[in-house]
Amino acid sequence: MIITEQKSFEEILRMLEPFNRIFIIGCGECSTVVQTGGEEQVKRMAERLRSVGKEVVGAVVVETPCDARILRRDTRNLKDAIESSDAILCMTCGAGVQDIVEHLKKPSIPALDTKFLGIIEHIGEFYERCRACGECILYETGGICPIVRCPKGMLNGPCGGMYEGKCEVGGYKRDCAWILIYNRLKELGMLDIYRAYRPPRDNSRLNVQPREVIWVKT
């Protein structure tokens, strides 16, 4: 799940200052779930913009705005309204904003800040669990990512800064990732994997930006 957080209304208005006629696009997946860009949030945003004198010419919650095919499908019958707008306010993650501006050819304003890939414990409680690092080792760590959960990103641990199962970073308030990994692997009967040494990460896999995955038929 891509976790997003809505920008302050003041910041949104600052970016929208040059534009009067606004079209709003929300996201039917991640932003809907985390309640930053679903039907209710889009409706509320439209009301707030109208209250300060902006003209909202239309709005839609696209099922998956970061998928160009679905973006085109869900906006096909709204071309006139979109074309008449000065700008699009995107209540989506950053990938959605980029897809929208590329395919709809309008200035596109991000209403949200994209925070991280995470899990949802309860509505309003979101926790980072993946950094999309390109070299997944979750099998070796019992499904607990040390790149995210360990503030030092250590591939072997715990380090000398652990005390009574807590991490020194942040004042011994968070659980040490490597203690969590040890306990999880013990629970799974996989401690032999824990004892294996992991060499330093090959960061060359991240040196070429932007990253891409292209399927090749075989």
Please provide the distance, in angstroms rounded to a whole number, between the alpha carbons at the two ends of the chain.
31
- Tell me how far apart the alpha carbons of residues 52 and 30 are, in angstroms, rounded to a whole number: 28
- Tell me how far apart the alpha carbons of residues 94 and 187 are, in angstroms, rounded to a whole number: 38
Question: 3-state DSSP call for residue 86?
Answer: coil
Query: Is the model's pLDDT at 113 over the cut of 80?
Result: yes
Give the model confidence (pLDDT) of 130-144 as tens digits: 988 888 899 999 999
- Tell me the average pLDDT of the chain: 93
Q: Which pLDDT value is given to residue 212?
A: 73
Give the model confidence (pLDDT) of 20-70 as tens digits: 999 999 999 999 999 999 999 999 999 999 999 999 999 999 999 999 999
Q: Which pLDDT value is given to residue 218?
A: 64
Q: Which pLDDT value is given to residue 171?
A: 96
Say what percent of the chain tops pLDDT 90: 83
- Tell me how far apart the alpha carbons of residues 30 and 42 are, in angstroms, rounded to a whole number: 14
Query: Is the model's pLDDT at 205 over the cut of 70?
Result: no
Give the model confidence (pLDDT) of 148-189 as tens digits: 999 999 999 999 999 999 999 999 999 999 999 999 999 999
Q: Which amino acid is at 76?
A: R
pTM reported for the whole predicted model: 0.86
Q: Which amino acid is at 84?
A: S
Q: List the chain domain ranges.
A: 2-115, 132-199
2-115: what CATH class?
alpha beta
Question: 3-state DSSP call for residue 91?
Answer: strand
**Res. 97 pLDDT band, cuts 50 70 90:** very high
Q: Which pLDDT value is given to residue 206?
A: 64
Mean pLDDT of 89-118: 95
Query: Is the model's pLDDT at 87 over the cut of 70?
Result: yes
